[in-house]
Amino acid sequence: MEYSNILCEKDGPLATVTINRPKVLNALNYETLQELKHCFETIAGDRSTRVVILTGAGEKSFVAGADISFMRELNPLEARTFATLGQEVMNTIEGIDTPVIAAVNGFALGGGCELALACDIRIASENARFGQPEVNLGVVPGFGGTQRLPRLVGKGHACELLFSGDIIDAAEAARIGLVNRVVPQDQLLESCRQLAGRICLRGPVAVRLCKDAVNNGLEMDLARACRYEADLFAMCFASTQQQEGMSAFLEKRQPKFESEKD
Ligand code: CAA
């Protein structure tokens, strides 16, 4: 598939996906969502990609929401189709076993905040702004914000953001746990790349199964989730990476995790 609204660049084990509609602050229209879905499905099938960084083009915006000029004329059935596609994108990002880091480089509003929420880790630049301003447009969030936001920051903070439509700065987002940390704007991508680099040094099977354990386990009760974790732990012993990791420790050397096929 040819992409007109996103860029997908590969640098060894790192893929960087950039939403590239800076004139409209990277707002998500139907085509952009289709391209994102295709891109992340392709990454899911590519074992050589070990980490993804997701960001927005330009200095001002990660994603300023779903595209309001596209949405204004939708009828209810079309709106449902649009929300379903948006949710498929979020579910794909969350569901692939490759870690995804959101490099939030500016506005992350509405569908943009929801996109960041679907990622595993969020690093924000100092100029980042977060909010779910949908109530200002007479709608509820449609890409999973009412569900992922309370799960991440708790019901009270989520309700405040959802009911008020308030936009908060990066420091406040960090305070309520919406982002992992805040870095100067000119260091955002480098900071994300350094984190990606550290993840790439670890056992790839173990990293993928950690994501699986967190995302699937969160939907289970604790007893079932812990049994699920024990199964994933056991599965690691089917990989030579467990032998390599433990041998390296005992031999006082760095592990060399080579192939993910075994
Ligand atoms: N959709 C379509 N176009 C958008 C947009 C959006 N979500 N956000 C910004 N743009 C466009 C603007 O219309 C403007 O276009 P023109 O130059 O052609 O006028 C351009 O991007 C630049 O934006 P501004 O001039 O408004 O820039 P600003 O710096 O003055 O303000 C902003 C920035 C505060 C982010 C403001 O643009 C804004 O409030 N945007 C809308 C944010 C929003 O409401 N997002 C939620 C959308 S609903 C949603 O996402 C539903 C869902 O869950 C599925």
Over residues 18-36, the pLDDT tens digits come to 999 999 999 999 999 999 9
Q: How far away, in angstroms, is 59 Cα from ligand 1 center? A: 15
**What's the rounded mean pLDDT across residues 196-208?**
97
Contact 170, 128 (CB under 8 A): yes
Residue nearest to atom 25 of ligand 1 (CA): 24
142-158 pLDDT tens trace:
999 999 999 999 999 99
Q: Which domain holds residue 185?
A: 6-200
Which ligand 1 atom sits closest to the C-alpha of 145?
Answer: 53
Q: Which of 114, 126, 219, 258 is catalytic?
A: 114
Are residue 222 and residue 153 in the same domain, yes or no? no
Tell me the mean pLDDT in the region 41-52.
96
Residue 260 has a pLDDT of 62
Q: Clarify whether residues 33 and 157 are in a common domain.
A: yes
Tell me, yes or no, whether 242 and 120 share the same domain: no
Pocket test for ligand 1, best of 20, 25, 62 (most atoms within 8 A of CB): 25
SS (H, E, C) the chain: CCCCCEEEEEECCEEEEEECCHHHCCCECHHHHHHHHHHHHHHHCCCCCCEEEEEECCCCEEECCECHHHHCCCCHHHHHHHHHHHHHHHHHHHHCCCCEEEEECCEEECHHHHHHHHCCEEEEECCCEEECHHHHHCCCCCCCHHHHHHHHHCHHHHHHHHHHCCEEEHHHHHHCCCCCEEECHHHHHHHHHHHHHHHHHCCHHHHHHHHHHHHHHCCCCHHHHHHHHHHHHHHHCCCHHHHHHHHHHHCCCCCCCCCCCC
114 as an active site residue: the answer is yes
The CATH number of the domain where 81 resides is what? 3.90.226.10
Residue nearest to atom 22 of ligand 1 (CA): 24
What gap in Å lies between CA 137 and CA 141, rounded to an integer? 10
* pLDDT average, residue stretch 187-213: 97
pLDDT class for 259, splitting at 50, 70, 90? low
Same domain, 218 and 119: no
Q: How far is the CA of 56 from the centre of ligand 1 (A)?
A: 14
Pocket test for ligand 1, best of 68, 113, 114, 137 (most atoms within 8 A of CB): 68
Sorting pLDDT into bands at 50, 70 and 90, what band is 141?
Answer: very high
Q: Are residues 210 and 140 in the same domain?
A: no
**Across-strand partners of 21?**
none
